[in-house]
Structure 1
Amino acid sequence: MKTLAMSKKDKRGVNVYLTAKLVDEARALGINLSATLDQMLSDAIREKKREQWKAENKNGIQALNEFEQEMGLFTDDDEYGVI
């Protein structure tokens, strides 16, 4: 997540329904709900995009893995040596 503070225009108010007990506990512990939810949403988006990328590139990844199994790594070649 970016460490720069976002301006008010970069934020959007939304209605979120959370378990009352959890909200009370978070507030009692001084947890910033907005910042926490923003970070968790950012993490969830990043993970979902990673999963989508893997699904979209599954055939290419599989082909590269098969090539590596058959031919070995490029760095295994005597001309290039092993890194």
Structure 2
Amino acid sequence: MQSAEATNSTRKPTNLSLDSALLKEAKILGINISRSAEAGIAEAVKRHRQENWLKENASALASSNAYVEANGLPLARHRRF
């Protein structure tokens, strides 16, 4: 998956409500508010996608883990480490 900065996506002006003290401090520190908000939202989207994938694939993961517990790793005899 590509990051938001790696793609040439268009930006859309958006209104956000932010803690005023936090916003003031970020401006004093020279933090780019838009890019920081975008990075935070991108991280939240990534985390939710991961959680959803794990939920959707929980039974397959459990089945695979149960197989390995019962039978060991497939092709384990070919491992050289």
Matched residues, number: 78
User: Aligned to 1:74, what secondary structure does the other structure show?
Assistant: coil
Q: Deviations over 1:3-43 (max 9, x none)?
A: 44746xx1111110001111000000000000001011101
CA RMSD of the aligned region, Å? 1.6
Q: Which runs of 5+ in 1 are unaligned?
A: none
- Specify the structure having the higher radius of gyration (Cα): 1
Identical residues among aligned pairs (%)? 24
What is the TM-score of this pair, normalised by structure 2?
0.86
Code of the aligned partner of 1:57: N
Q: Which runs of 5+ in 2 are unaligned?
A: none
Identify the structure with bigger relative contact order (alpha carbons < 8 Å, sequence gap 6+).
Answer: 2
Cα distance in structure 1, aligned partners of 2:73 and 2:16: 50
Q: Deviations over 1:58-83 (max 9, x none)?
A: 00000000000011001323xxx114
